[in-house]
Amino acid sequence: MTLLATRGLTRRYAGLVAVDGVDLAVPDGGVHAVIGPNGAGKTTLFNLLSGLVAPSAGGIRFGGADITLLPADRRARLGIARTFQNIRVFGAMTLLENVLTGLHPLLTSSVVGIVARLPRFRREEANAVVRARGALALVGLVDREGERAAALSYGDQRRLEIARAVAGSPRLLLLDEPAAGMNPAETAALGTLIRRIVASGTTVLLVEHDMRFVMDLSDSVTVLNFGRCIFAGPPALARADPAVIEAYLGAKVAARLAAG
Amino acid sequence: MPAWLEDLYWTYQNVVTALGVNGLLALSMYVVLAAGQLSLGQAAFMGLGAYSSALMTLWFGWPFWLVLPAACAAPVAFALAVGGPTLRLSGVYLAIATIGLGEVLRAVYLNVDALGGALGLSGIPEQASPLLIFSVLGVALAVLWLVGRSGAGRAMEALREDATAAQSMGIDVRRVRLVVLVASAVLAGLAGALSAHATDFIGPNDFGFEPAVTILSFALLGGIGSPFAPVLGAWVLTLLPELLRGFADLRLVLDGVVIVLAVLFLPRGLLSWRMPRRAA
């Protein structure tokens, strides 16, 4: 079954087509990667999927419903969570408060309920705290829940961002270059973490430059070049595909490799 | 009330009233700043509350317990009307737009004869006792404290920190911005009605650009880590001119120096403590 599908998805900027008629199909379950050289349109594609950028043409369907016109917060409520290439944790807030913010859609009390501290409000808050601690435990940060997010190291901020995104058990998690700036040990731990997230029932779509990481982890790969989709299929085939090699290494090198 | 306290009260009645009213205005500034919006319409909201409540009392003779809540109607309507177009703006653009709207209202008060023109409205009965003013301030502080320690408070802070990330968490950014603007209008409207009914006179210049900046300076001096901080800032800035009375002509200079020093050396305000964002 297809969880997320785009049809002719296009985003034009003045003098540039960042995403050009992309047909993407993300099946329900597993890890799926979007790769491509710098400037291929990967981050714009993620911004289109999460609703931070409006498409110039084309459509997006998620779980069978058309979400093309929905704003980002509505998509988050439908179960599309994301992290950012340039980390965007709430620096002044504690780790626990950061993750609680990711659970915002679960809190439905009115102002009256909040001010009067009605039982439903207390229940919702307590429930959210339990879930937030669970997400922090998943990424190994639970014993630091009271620290300010800005005080964390770069790698820990990346993990906090993932905890904040998965706390609400999203159906689709978009990870924008999660391994950027990580050493091999941290990258391996990230791979384990992503497998655990997938095992819990969340589908993962990731943009990543670390090829070994992508090849080891992904069930399918989509390759973008200059905003167009040039390959979609299993990772092993992507490595052998002439168009993909050309996109990464240039026509000359690709020809020399093909000649043997 | 013992005689000495009564003496003190009659001597400093205006200052006591100003402490309560300015505290409410500081909270009106706080709610928008806490959600990352630099809106400077608080003086305009206050003016709408003051003028509409004065008219309800002077023209219709409504009792004050009815006038006070009704005084919020005009500022809230104004907030809802300007919220749509202005909430697309942020930062300094929003500040300029809201200053402009405030000046428009000031011109209206100045030129409409029924509103007293430049002379303003006088003879408003003094129905707002210090006890009432400080009760309203206390309730406002309690509500903001409780709301701050909930998902709503986290949503506001998240919005201030990073609106894009907040929206990606499922927070309806436009809705939060409109709600805080309406809350700001309610608080400033109450402050306007209370102040009009505590001083018996209101005029167009009470609600222009200068008061708008003064209200901002309450929050700048006090900080926005908790609702108590801007109220502290308002109290310091209200008492300072009184304490510096002996310096005569140097008063305003010293006033300015205190603010400059505070901004330079206490960038997060006098009370930089950040309130927890979880329900206790």
Q: What is the pLDDT of residues A5-43, one digit of tens each?
A: 999 999 999 989 999 999 999 999 999 999 998 889 999
Query: Could you give the 3-state DSSP secondary structure of residue A176?
Result: strand
Question: Does the residue B223 lie in any domain?
Answer: no
CB-based contact B279 A77, cutoff 8 Å: no
Collect all residues of chain A within an 8 Å Cβ-Cβ radius of residue B274. 92
Q: Could you say which of A84, A90, A124 has the minimum Cβ distance to residue B158?
A: A90
* pLDDT (tens place) for every residue of chain B, 280 residues total: 788 888 877 778 889 999 999 999 999 999 999 999 998 899 999 999 999 999 999 999 999 999 999 999 999 999 999 887 888 887 788 889 898 999 999 999 999 988 999 999 999 999 999 999 999 999 999 999 999 999 999 999 999 999 999 999 999 999 999 999 999 999 999 999 999 999 989 999 999 888 998 899 999 899 999 999 999 999 999 998 888 877 777 877 877 787 788 878 888 999 999 999 998 7
DSSP state letter for A211: H
Q: Which helix (H) or strand (E) holds A190?
A: helix A184-199
Closest CA of chain A from B68, distance in Å: 20
Distance CA B188, CA B160 (A): 21
Please list, in sequence order, all residues whose beta carbon lies within 8 angstroms of the beta carbon of residue A144, skipping any fewer than 6 positions away: A95, A136, A152
pLDDT of B86 reads: 82
Report the complex ipTM.
0.94
E runs forming strands in chain A: 2-13, 16-22, 25-27, 31-35, 57-62, 65-66, 80-82, 172-176, 203-207, 220-225, 228-233
Q: Six-digit token pair at B213?
A: 């900046």
The predicted-structure confidence for A134-167, as pLDDT tens digits, reads as follows 999 999 999 999 999 999 999 999 999 999 999 9
Closest CA of chain A from B169, distance in Å: 5
Please tell me the total number of residues recorded for chain B in this structure: 280
Residue with tokens 């609600």: B207
Question: Does the residue B250 lie in any domain?
Answer: no
CB contact residues (below 8 A), chain A span 113-142, against chain B: 114-115, 117, 121-122, 124-125, 128-129
Short-list B139, B146, B175, CA closest to A114: B146
Burial class (CB in 10 A: 0-12, 13-18, 19+), B162: middle
The predicted-structure confidence for A208-246, as pLDDT tens digits, reads as follows 988 889 999 999 999 999 999 999 999 999 888 888 888
Question: Does the residue B158 lie in any domain?
Answer: yes
Closest CA of chain B from A203, distance in Å: 17
Distance CA B205, CA A30 (A): 65
Q: B166 — contact with chain A (CB < 8 Å)? A: yes
Question: 10 Å Cβ neighbour count for B112?
Answer: 12
The predicted-structure confidence for A103-126, as pLDDT tens digits, reads as follows 999 999 999 999 999 999 999 999
Is the C-alpha dihedral spanning A52, A107, A178, A31 positive or negative? negative
Question: Does the residue B80 lie in any domain?
Answer: yes
pLDDT of B33 reads: 95
* Domain carrying residue B181: 3-208
Question: 10 Å Cβ neighbour count for B4?
Answer: 8
Confidence of residue A260 (pLDDT cuts 50, 70, 90): low
Q: Could you say which of A73, A117, A125 has the minimum Cβ distance to residue B170?
A: A73
Question: Does the residue B47 lie in any domain?
Answer: yes
Contact B220, B233 (CB under 8 A): yes
Contact A110, A117 (CB under 8 A): no
Domains contained in chain B, number: 1
What value does the CA radius of gyration of chain B take, rounded to a whole number of Å?
19
C-alpha to C-alpha distances, B116 to A87, B43, B249, nearest whole angstrom: 56, 19, 32
CB contact residues (below 8 A), chain B span 69-108, against chain A: none
CB-based contact B274 A92, cutoff 8 Å: yes
Average the pLDDT over A176-196 and give the result: 94
- Cα B88 from chain centroid? 23
pLDDT of B7 reads: 82
The neighbouring-strand residues paired with A173 are: A81, A204
Assign 3-class secondary structure to chain B. CCHHHHHHHHHHHHHHHHHHHHHHHHHHHHHHHHCCCCCCCHHHHHHHHHHHHHHHHHCCCCCHHHHHHHCCHHHHHHHHHHHHHHCCCCHHHHHHHHHHHHHHHHHHHHHCHHHCHHHCEECCCCCCCHHHHHHHHHHHHHHHHHHHCCHHHHHHHHHHHCHHHHHHCCCCHHHHHHHHHHHHHHHHHHHHHHHHHHHCEECHHHHCHHHHHHHHHHHHHHCCCCCHHHHHHHHHHHHHHHHCHHHHHHHHHHHHHHHHHHHHHCCCCCCCCCCCCCCC
Distance CA A138, CA A126 (A): 19
Is the C-alpha dihedral spanning A147, A149, A151, A155 positive or negative? positive
Distance CA A186, CA A214 (A): 15
Distance CA A121, CA A116 (A): 9
Question: Does the residue B14 lie in any domain?
Answer: yes
Angle between helices B73-86 and B42-58 (to 10 degrees): 150
Distance CA A115, CA B183 (A): 14
Is the pTM higher than 0.90? The answer reads: yes
Question: Does the residue B199 lie in any domain?
Answer: yes
C-alpha to C-alpha distances, B202 to B195, B196, B205, B231, nearest whole angstrom: 9, 6, 9, 23
Q: Which helix (H) or strand (E) holds A135?
A: helix A119-138
Closest CA of chain B from A225, distance in Å: 27
Question: 10 Å Cβ neighbour count for B132?
Answer: 17
Best residue in A104, A147, A171 to probe B by mutation, most B CBs within 10 Å? Answer: A104
DSSP state letter for A105: G
pLDDT of B27 reads: 98
Is a pLDDT exceeding 90 seen at residue A253?
no
Short-list B275, B53, B242, CA closest to B153: B275
- The Cα diameter of chain B in Å comes to 61
Counting residues of chain A whose pLDDT is more than 70, the rounded percentage is 100
pLDDT of A158 reads: 95
Angle between helices B130-148 and B151-161 (to 10 degrees): 80
- Cα torsion for B191, B197, B202, B204, to the nearest 10°? 30
The neighbouring-strand residues paired with A207 are: A34, A176
Nearest chain A residue (CA) to B162: A90
The neighbouring-strand residues paired with A222 are: A34, A232
Question: Does the residue B15 lie in any domain?
Answer: yes
Q: Could you say which of B147, B161, B172 has the minimum Cβ distance to residue A73?
A: B172
CB contact residues (below 8 A), chain A span 88-117, against chain B: 88-94, 96-97, 100-105, 107, 109, 111, 114-115, 117
- Cα A165 from chain centroid? 9
Best residue in A49, A73, A84, A110 to probe B by mutation, most B CBs within 10 Å? Answer: A73
pLDDT of B12 reads: 84
Q: B165 — contact with chain A (CB < 8 Å)? A: yes
Collect all residues of chain B within an 8 Å Cβ-Cβ radius of residue A103. 151
